[in-house]
Amino acid sequence: MKFSVKTEYGLRALIELASQATRKPICAREIASRQDIPERFLEQQITSLRKAGLVNSQRGAGGGCSLARAPEAITVLEVIEALDGPVMNMDCISQSGSDCRQSTQCVIQELWLESQVQLRGYLGSVTIGDLASRQHEKADRGLTYTI
């Protein structure tokens, strides 16, 4: 499974926000510069994250973006689903049903479902706070940050 650049940039932006000791709003331009993300593209991701209730944004002097909740209360799964939609949304296991004639006896469908449950469980257990802590540890050891 491959996650989009939208998700990568969104996670990097949220980690940047979580890493700020003051927790005051940071403008998108500053986040984009620090994380080497195209500013216009980042603004689109911030809009999606705001609509999902993960970030707050303020216009004007002293404005910018901030986390809507504590970093420990925002999961990676929430971020992915805010930016890319449901994780591993296979047609044959979607809630709306499928046209598969073998769905009642398909072991592949069971495989997809089991893997989706495992992946969602893991991504739902990792928070932005966890990633910010890992980032801080890497910085302390002089390691570069990559997702």
| Domain at 45, CATH number | 1.10.10.10
**pLDDT for position 113:** 85
User: Do residues 76 and 128 touch, judged by C-beta distance below 8 A?
Assistant: yes
**pLDDT for position 132:** 94
Backbone angles phi, psi at 100, to 5 degrees: -70, 125
**147 found inside a domain:** no
**Cα 140 to the center of its chain, rounded Å:** 24
Give average pLDDT by consecutive 10-residue segment, the chain, 147 residues: 89 93 85 94 95 91 89 97 83 57 73 89 96 88 61
**68 found inside a domain:** yes
**51 found inside a domain:** yes
For residue 25, the tally of other CB atoms under 10 A from its CB is 18
User: Do residues 19 and 136 touch, judged by C-beta distance below 8 A?
Assistant: yes
Backbone angles phi, psi at 127, to 5 degrees: -110, 165
**pLDDT for position 1:** 65
**120 found inside a domain:** no
Q: What is the DSSP letter of 39?
A: H
Backbone angles phi, psi at 133, to 5 degrees: -65, -45
Q: Which domain holds residue 80?
A: 5-87+127-140
**How many structural domains does the chain have?**
1
**16 found inside a domain:** yes
**32 found inside a domain:** yes
